[in-house]
Amino acid sequence: MTSVKLYVYDLSQGMAKQMSMGLTGRQIDGIWHTSVVVFGQEYYYGQGIMNSLPGTTPHGRPIQVIDMGETHLTEEIFIEYLNSISSEFTAAKYHLLDFNCNTFTNDICQFLTGANIPAHITDLPADFLNTPFGQSLRPMIENMFGPSTHATPNLPMQPQSAPSQSSISMLNNVSSAALSASPATANPIQTIQNGASLESLIKSQRGVLAFFTSATCPPCKMIEPDFVRKLETINQDRIKVVGAKIDTQVAFDAAQRYEVRATPTFIAFVDGKKFAQFSGANFAELNSTVDLMVFTMYPPHCHRKLNLRAVLKITGDPILFTNAGNLDNILKKLLSFLEEDNITLSETEMRTLKNAKIAVDNRLQNEVSELDVKAWDDLLITLTSKLPIDHQFPLLDIFRSLLLVREVGNYYTHDCKNIAKFIDTAASQDVKKPTLLMTLRLICNAFAHPVLARTHFSSSLPDSHRTAATNLLIKALLSEDATVRQTASSLAFNFSCVTAKDRLDCEASGESPRDDEDWEVEVVSAVVSALEKESEGEIVYRLVSTLSKFLFLAPSTSPVPSLVSILDIQAAIKDKQSLATGTIDKNKITSLAREIDELVQASLQNMDN
């Protein structure tokens, strides 16, 4: 077990405590910034998710350290979780009132320990806005960070004076501190004061476009707005090309180093080396140079050159089993098994079971329920230890519907060992169809929560349960029962959705996809084997869709395209086209088969090159 600490800082550096009573009419002791210390690092949110050695962040020394408990999770699982939420906690999404450092630490603490950070910290924005002074500063805050989703409180009408210079100064200081420690690349355009700064930037960034200008150059003033616009556009998702604005009369050593004798002059650098140079206010050349830089640094995947209408039309959402069925009958069946097996529930346990049914009912009606998830999890432990395996399917049926409730999914993201027990049992033992089917639906519904699915069921980390889930998948794909095979094909598709999303995210960030080649080969082999034997059109379509997702954007080193080519999947799919019925028509399977062949051929050709 590892301790989890919450570090609390005052972004106002004491100004809020001194000024709040006079300005707001209530005491506000600080403008709180928090970070989480775990596994020897301090994690916080400003310009994205950041970390430092504890106590070494730009925020100084914490004014309070709160013990949030202990976590049973490993550092590897935690890092995997951070990677999975990094696309949400970006610099662009930061908002002082709505989505800030405390939002991040609260999510982290819930994941690690199941506990929330203190309410007085998370409630501060609403408390602040619920004052006339807060309302007077709101336009300034929204001008800095964008509109706030906090509802405007109904305050009594009273004259409001303009914010004082001291309060404006405090707001600026707080905003600056909130976004402190921003990396140099946070701003896509930087002003360079000397040659050493330019050299440092060129060495530290993959792409740099140096704009040599001067205050007395009319063409420079004409092209500068285009320069700014182009870099803002190209860097919308992430920093790809950093702009360096160099006044030759200030950073004369930089101009001398690159023999710049006229302005405007643009010099492009890629991976530390000079890439291109041109002079003059030529937007067409500026535009093409930046595009060519990005293409060179981040060449598009060979699959992006293909016309893949059928593949790209396939949803990226997992297949979930949202129909709860007749809950009254399911509950009656479970109670009859309890009676048959001489199992008596306490009054508290019976109330928890009924509350679980209510929670599912409320989800179906888009209403919020207050189920004690810990009590439900304890009940699971009790019942699975007493009920015979083949009598557990009504319990699993309730559980798989309950897992679609957001709060339940969040709980099992923190600790999913009881879900894993069901999977281990179904994968390793000879269970009857109802129990096997409900276990498959349970794990499929786990994919409603991306972090839960990614961290615990599709990760290669040692503490992941992916091996058991994969064993269950392979076993179920070979079942003689069509309903089991169809559910197994849904699980295979869900696995491919996680892989596909990971590749899309890596494509957007310029990172390399995680190395899961052995696992992908194992799953694809099982899918191909199942496809060769399959006689149901719906299942064929899901399996073919799964293959297309495992192939699309596969890394150049992936063995999956070669495997699919060797196994001659085209022949297998062609034999199955006659099975298409209903909504899965022959054209869908035919189109996917053709595009799978294009994916394979493009990958193989790319490997040869």
pLDDT digits (tens, 9 = 90+) for 4-26: 999 988 776 665 555 545 555 55
Please, which residues have CB within 8 angstroms of residue 284's CB and are 6 or more apart in sequence? Answer: none
Query: Does some domain include residue 600?
Result: yes
pLDDT digits (tens, 9 = 90+) for 177-234: 555 543 333 468 888 888 888 988 888 788 999 999 999 999 999 999 999 999 989 8
Q: Catalytic annotation on 497? A: no
Residue 514 has pLDDT above 90, yes or no: no
Residue 169 has pLDDT above 70, yes or no: no
- pLDDT of 398 reads 96
Are 495 and 528 contained in the same domain? yes
Are 147 and 194 contained in the same domain? no
Q: Is residue 442 helix, strand or coil?
A: helix
* Average pLDDT over all residues of the chain: 84
Are 47 and 153 contained in the same domain? yes
Alpha-carbon distance values, 130 to 32, 126, 157, 165 (Å): 17, 6, 13, 21
More reliable by pLDDT, 38 or 160: 38
Residue among 59, 72, 95, 101 flagged as catalytic? 101
Q: Are 520 and 499 in contact, with CB atoms under 8 Å apart?
A: yes
Q: Are 491 and 474 in contact, with CB atoms under 8 Å apart?
A: no
- pLDDT of 149 reads 55
Side chain identity, residue 543: L
Residue 145 has pLDDT above 70, yes or no: no
Are 167 and 64 contained in the same domain? yes
The mean pLDDT of 118-136, rounded to a whole number, is 66
Q: Which helix (H) or strand (E) holds 64?
A: strand 64-71
Q: Which helix (H) or strand (E) holds 50?
A: strand 48-52
Are 94 and 200 contained in the same domain? no
Are 430 and 494 contained in the same domain? no
More reliable by pLDDT, 360 or 136: 360
- pLDDT of 609 reads 66
> What Rg, from alpha-carbon coordinates, does the chain have?
29
Are 27 and 95 contained in the same domain? yes
With a pLDDT cut of 70, the percent of the chain lying above it is 82
Query: Does some domain include residue 519?
Result: yes
Are 261 and 240 contained in the same domain? yes
* Most confident segment among 159-173, 236-250, 341-355, 563-577: 341-355
- pLDDT of 137 reads 47
Alpha-carbon distance values, 390 to 96, 274, 337, 425, 431 (Å): 53, 69, 10, 11, 7
Query: Does some domain include residue 56?
Result: yes
Please, which residues have CB within 8 angstroms of residue 60's CB and are 6 or more apart in sequence? Answer: 9
More reliable by pLDDT, 455 or 66: 66
pLDDT digits (tens, 9 = 90+) for 416-469: 889 999 999 999 999 999 999 999 999 999 999 888 888 888 887 777 899 999
The strand pair at 2-10 and 64-71 is best described as antiparallel
Q: Which of 136-145, 330-339, 482-491, 574-583 has the lowest mean pLDDT?
A: 136-145
Q: Which helix (H) or strand (E) holds 244?
A: strand 242-247
Query: Does some domain include residue 385?
Result: yes
Query: Does some domain include residue 458?
Result: no
- pLDDT of 174 reads 52
First to last CA, the chain: 49
- pLDDT of 119 reads 86
Which residues form the domain of 518? 303-318+483-609
- pLDDT of 608 reads 72
Residue 167 has pLDDT above 70, yes or no: no
For the four alpha carbons of 504, 507, 513 and 518, in that order, the dihedral sign comes to: positive
- pLDDT of 84 reads 80
Q: Catalytic annotation on 414? A: no
- pLDDT of 177 reads 52
pLDDT digits (tens, 9 = 90+) for 538-590: 898 999 999 999 999 999 889 999 998 888 776 766 666 565 555 566 678 88
Are 30 and 65 contained in the same domain? yes
Are 564 and 607 contained in the same domain? yes
Are 335 and 438 contained in the same domain? yes
C-alpha–C-alpha distance, residues 57 and 47, integer Å: 13
Query: Does some domain include residue 478?
Result: no
Q: Maximum CA pair distance of the chain?
A: 93
Side chain identity, residue 430: D
C-alpha–C-alpha distance, residues 88 and 111, integer Å: 15
* CATH number (domain holding residue 291): 3.40.30.10
Query: Does some domain include residue 477?
Result: no
More reliable by pLDDT, 86 or 436: 436
Query: Does some domain include residue 414?
Result: yes
Q: How many folded domains does the chain comprise?
A: 4
Are 312 and 354 contained in the same domain? no
Of 429, 446, 463, at which residue does a domain stop? 446
Of 132, 158, 178, at which residue does a domain stop? 178
Q: Are 486 and 540 in contact, with CB atoms under 8 Å apart?
A: no
Q: Within 10 Å of residue 365's Cβ, how many Cβ atoms?
A: 8
Q: What band does 159 get if pLDDT is binned at 50, 70 and 90? A: very low
Q: What band does 86 get if pLDDT is binned at 50, 70 and 90? A: confident
C-alpha–C-alpha distance, residues 505 and 500, integer Å: 9
Of 144, 178, 212, at which residue does a domain stop? 178
Residue 155 has pLDDT above 50, yes or no: no
132: left (phi over 0), alpha (psi -120 to 50) or beta: alpha
